[in-house]
């Protein structure tokens, strides 16, 4: 482990892993851990997304995040998940995933803006 006097390393991109381009990854389960593993393999290890396969036995990806998507009732995540300020690894991951709806925004941006507009 390397100890530093600051957190600038959190913002630096790691070098791709040796043999990343040839690496094939098979992830069992598309819950939060499986999806996060795929993100970090692609983003941090440099494994091409086409080389990452996620295997899921269920009909819907997301594991316990498979919530309810019924606009008139709301959007619910099964299991009462609470996202907290200290979840640095999650926020780091979410800031690297582009928004599907907003150009030049990340999933973290969307989440942050939603909470500022409608704190819960």
> How many C-beta neighbours within 10 Å does residue 61 have?
14
Predicted pLDDT at 91: 87
Predicted pLDDT at 60: 75
Q: Whose CA is closest to 83, among 100, 107, 59, 61?
A: 107
Predicted pLDDT at 72: 73
Measured CA to CA, the distance from residue 40 to residue 25 in angstroms comes to 12
Q: What parts of the chain have a pLDDT lower than 50?
A: none
Predicted pLDDT at 74: 62
Predicted pLDDT at 5: 63
- The structure's pTM equals 0.73
What DSSP letter does each residue of 3-30 carry, written as one string? Answer: --SSSGGGGSPPPPPTTGGG--EEEE--
Predicted pLDDT at 111: 87
Predicted pLDDT at 48: 97
């Amino acid at each position: 482990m390397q100890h530093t006097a600051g957190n600038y390393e959190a913002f630096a991109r790691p070098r791709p892993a040796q043999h990343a381009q040839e690496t094939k990854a098979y992830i069992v389960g598309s819950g939060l851990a499986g999806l996060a593993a795929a993100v970090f393999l692609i983003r941090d290890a440099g494994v091409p997304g086409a080389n990452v396969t996620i295997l899921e036995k269920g009909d819907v990806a997301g594991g316990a995040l498979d919530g309810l998507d019924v606009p008139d009732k709301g959007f619910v995540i099964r299991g009462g998940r609470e996202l907290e300020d200290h979840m640095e690894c999650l926020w780091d991951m979410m800031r690297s995933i582009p928004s599907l709806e907003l150009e030049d925004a990340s999933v973290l941006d969307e989440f942050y803006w939603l909470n500022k507009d409608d704190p819960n």
